[in-house]
């Protein structure tokens, strides 16, 4: 796989934004070791714009940096789930039309349907299953953490990710808008 310079720069910027938002802009939830954050809105937007390769790398690098900065070590089950989330959203939103200045109702529904399905798979199944398999965590604890994280991530991604997509599309010339009229 060959990545363009533009995509590599986007991965670096996306991972940095994911880290800063996840580490410093978070609200503790009532469930231990879970927070309500906005970084998945940024990840979903970047994955929709730059594709699945960028999405997976932004999720993996950004989440690993967050865990590393807390000092408890990297919690690989959730790092992997973040990467898979970026990968899934990147695949499911391919050809969304953001570069063409398009983000109408149909694109909004597709973007949010994609992020909701991806969050449900990653936080409802993948992260808890990996927690049980890798760390022998109790099932009731990790599925509750996954539920709270998944629901809050769906909401924050719908707000932040949709707003970013809408703003980006609005800043782009509409497809065909620069054609010379006769």
Q: Residue 67 belongs to a domain with what CATH number?
A: 1.10.1760.20
CA–CA distance from 88 to each of 12, 135, 141 (Å)?
19, 24, 25
Q: Look at the pTM and tell me if it is higher than 0.75.
A: yes
Residue 24 counted as domain residue: yes
Residue 26 is classified by DSSP as E
Which residue range is the domain that position 39 belongs to? Answer: 5-171
* Tens digit of each residue's pLDDT (9 = 90 or more) over 73-115: 999 999 999 999 999 999 999 989 899 999 999 999 999 999 9
The answer to whether 142 and 127 have CB atoms below 8 angstroms apart is: yes
* pLDDT for position 95: 87
* pLDDT for position 24: 95
Token pair in block for residue 126: 């993948």
State the Cα–Cα distance between residues 58 and 107, nearest whole angstrom: 22
Residue 182 counted as domain residue: no
Residue 178 counted as domain residue: no
Residue 105 counted as domain residue: yes
Residue 173 is classified by DSSP as P
State the Cα–Cα distance between residues 102 and 99, nearest whole angstrom: 7
User: Which residues of the chain carry a pLDDT beneath 70?
Assistant: 175-182
* pLDDT for position 33: 87
Residue 15 counted as domain residue: yes
Q: How many domains does the chain have?
A: 1
E strand intervals along the chain: 26-28, 35-37
Residue 109 counted as domain residue: yes
Beta bridge partners of 70: none
Residue 47 counted as domain residue: yes
Residue 176 counted as domain residue: no
């Amino acid at each position: 796989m060959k990545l363009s310079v533009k995509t590599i720069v986007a991965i670096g910027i996306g991972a940095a934004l994911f880290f800063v938002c996840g580490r410093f802009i978070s609200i503790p939830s009532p469930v231990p070791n879970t927070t309500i954050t906005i970084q998945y809105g940024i990840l979903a937007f970047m994955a929709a714009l730059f594709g699945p390769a960028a999405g997976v790398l932004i999720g993996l690098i950004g989440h690993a940096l967050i865990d590393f900065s807390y000092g408890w070590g990297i919690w690989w089950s959730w790092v992997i789930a973040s990467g898979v989330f970026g990968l899934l959203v990147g695949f499911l939103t391919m050809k969304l039309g953001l570069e063409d200045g398009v983000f109408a109702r149909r694109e909004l529904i597709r973007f949010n349907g994609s992020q909701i399905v991806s969050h449900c798979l990653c936080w409802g199944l993948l992260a808890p299953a990996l927690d049980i398999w890798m760390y022998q965590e109790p099932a009731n604890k990790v599925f509750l953490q996954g539920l709270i994280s998944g629901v809050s991530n769906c909401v924050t991604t719908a707000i932040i990710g949709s707003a970013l997509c809408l703003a980006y599309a609005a800043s782009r010339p509409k497809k065909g808008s620069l054609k010379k009229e006769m």
